[in-house]
Amino acid sequence: MEYLDNLNKEQKMAVMHIDGPCLVVAGAGSGKTKVLTTRIAYLIDQGIYSSNILAITFTNKAAKEMKERINKIVTNNYAFVGTFHSFGLRIIKENYDILGLTKNFTIIDSEDALSIIKKIMKDKAIDVKEISPSYIRNRISFIKNEMLSDAEITRCFLSEVEKKAALIYFEYQKVLKKNNVIDFDDLLKLPVDLFISNPDILDKYQDKYQYILVDEYQDTNEVQYKLIKLLSSKYRNIFVVGDQNQAIYGFRQANYKNIVNFESDYPDAEVIVLNQNYRSTTTILNAANSVIKNNIHKKDVKLYSELGEGVKVKYLRSDNGSGEVNIVVNEIKNLLELGYQKSDIAIFYRTNAQSRVYEEAMLKNNFSYKVVGSFYFYKRKEIKDLISYLKLIENHDDDISLKRIINEPKRGIGTKTIDNLESIANEKNISMFEAITSGRELEFKNLIMDLTKQSQDLSLTELIDLILEKSGMQEEFTKDHSLDGELRMENLMEFRSITESFQNVTGSVNLSDFLDEISLIADITEHKDEDDAITLMTFHSAKGLEFKVVFMVGMEDGIMPHINSMSEENGLEEERRLCYVGITRAKERLYITNAKRRMLYGKEMINPPSRFIAEIAPEYIESNIISEKKIDKNLLYDDTDSEYKSGDIVTHLTYGKGVVVGVDERFVTIAFDKRFGIRKFFKNYKGLKKGK
């Protein structure tokens, strides 16, 4: 058993534990996957049939990696190694008839589930503007994952909205049954129902899977916890690996208390702590330890490393958000000169909306990059929809933009209507916009006409706000109480930052100029997913990964920790665990950055530095507060409006000489030569000078 030779003392204890319950508290980077896979090999070598072994993890990627590692150590491996959902599917397939299904049952995805919910809402005359179908889908998922009985649903769902959600849930279940289909949440719920209702079947599976291993136990929810507890209750050979300090998925109903309560569930459990980290330098681990020790609900796992002290954590503070981006870019350039590869570097942020400024910086500096767990900002559906509104307002002949948004958000304009419009337009050699003469599509046309008219008197940011309101996009995502709806709304609000920045720097409120500007950045052909690329991701997406260099950006109270965590029970503790996860992804160098003020969601924010920075012991952090020269609005705008009148000659920094052709309370309209045409600016913009 040479494979035992490369294990440390604690790892070896865990691997060689055979019978009875065992909790392995595996700190970040402590080799938990190695322990799990080696233990399976060891059990097989000890004469335990591999077919009696069940190993459960959370992702297909992790399951595949575990299988590959096991097969390198032993042959004839028939252990079940897979995700909770793949295991649940196996149980259902083997017992479909008892569960009231036929052999050819199918699994619907979340989009199919949404379609069923919408149909029920329509039949029940429940307005989708009043309650979002996505919200209902999430409540149904919650019911199934929490294993709520019909009586519990009736007792707990008391508000008018939740009563309607309960009504739709019961109808939804009838539709699934009638159509011989199950949804993704049923893959976990149905096996538990099966075992509770059929002790003989449970007994059969308990005999089948006498040795059970569970990865990332701190991320289990109620239904997963019950499934494992039922299966392991006969032989009690339950071996779980996890780290309470890395429990960051509370928003998905994961319950970190499952790992906290393991010793209560199994008083005779052996507890083994893996605290030697094979990833990071001592300084980085000490920084992580000094942060997480501030949590009340924690397992004391003081990580240590034998990889050397390493360099101190670098804390860089800038005057504003653009200065922070510049700092990160300059540090990346220095790192590349030191010999680091782009693939060694990752940038972590708390919300997806923060990625936009870093994506643009990567493009401008010709750095190859990839965005993990999210779409490239300008490729996101809601952003492309918003830009299409802007394009159609600017150019009514833009059929491509019209087809994209004529039924977005949904207005009851079907594909047949759109195809018919296109045929009429082609026949008459006119635009689709011009071809609209009646029906719901005429309401859409009037909306665009109204937005076009109002845009003449609005700044770009005001126009964005008006589009979001009048189009129904804002209402759609605000009423969608799901995480997805919240993220989409955050992205739309972040688009306001782009218009604000454009207006502040150029003074221009011309839609055509703005569209030209963003087209240079938003060209998706420039976004290449390369191997040697800087990685951009949220803290949540970083779980399980590691990089030589990590930048944790936007580290300010209100962003990280997130503003929502301040009002949630245990919210701040989960944010601290998230920070801990971020720190422990770094192998050699860790940067923490923030700004005194920043533009986010189209608003200027002034946040204090993240409280987590102060929790890092001073001996592990090197503070170098850098003051970047920022674009000061005071340099660009006068406090009082400049006086203009029609006929005045003015000079613009970019467009040259022009003649004032219109003045109102806020804007001055100027005609330049034919290359630039007529442009509109804020009256108090200093980039304009009167006189020849």
Q: Based on the residue annotation, tell me whether 118 is a catalytic residue of this protein.
A: no
Q: Based on the residue annotation, tell me whether 72 is a catalytic residue of this protein.
A: no
Q: Could you please report the per-residue DSSP string of 194-237?
A: HHHH-HHHHHHHHHH--EEEESSGGG--HHHHHHHHHHHTTT--
Q: Based on the residue annotation, tell me whether 585 is a catalytic residue of this protein.
A: yes
Q: Based on the residue annotation, tell me whether 381 is a catalytic residue of this protein.
A: no
The one-character DSSP state at 563 is G
Q: Could you please report the per-residue DSSP string of 172-191?
A: HHHHHHHTTEEETTHHHHHH
Q: Based on the residue annotation, tell me whether 486 is a catalytic residue of this protein.
A: no
Nearest to 66 by CA among 51, 83, 49: 83
| Strand-by-strand arrangement of the 656-663 sheet | 678-682, 667-671, 656-663, 649-652, 688-690
Nearest to 587 by CA among 29, 35, 31, 34: 29
10, 11, 32, 556: the active-site residue: 32
Cα 503 to Cα 511: distance, rounded to the nearest angstrom = 11
57, 83, 246, 354: the active-site residue: 246
139, 350, 576, 585: the active-site residue: 585
33, 173, 253, 417: the active-site residue: 33
Cα 452 to Cα 447: distance, rounded to the nearest angstrom = 9
| Residues 665 and 626 sit within 8 Å (Cβ to Cβ) | no
| Residues 651 and 657 sit within 8 Å (Cβ to Cβ) | yes
10, 183, 185, 215: the active-site residue: 215
| Residues 461 and 601 sit within 8 Å (Cβ to Cβ) | no
Angle at 72 between CA 66 and CA 76, to 5 degrees: 90
Residue in the block written with tokens 């400049």: 642
Cα 471 to Cα 370: distance, rounded to the nearest angstrom = 32
216, 344, 399, 575: the active-site residue: 216
Residue in the block written with tokens 């981006």: 325
Q: Based on the residue annotation, tell me whether 215 is a catalytic residue of this protein.
A: yes
Strand partners, 657: 651
Strand partners, 316: 593
* Dihedral of the alpha carbons of 43, 49, 51, 52, in degrees to the nearest 10: -70
Quick check: helix, strand or coil at residue 540?
helix
Which residues are the active-site residues? 32-33, 215-216, 246, 585
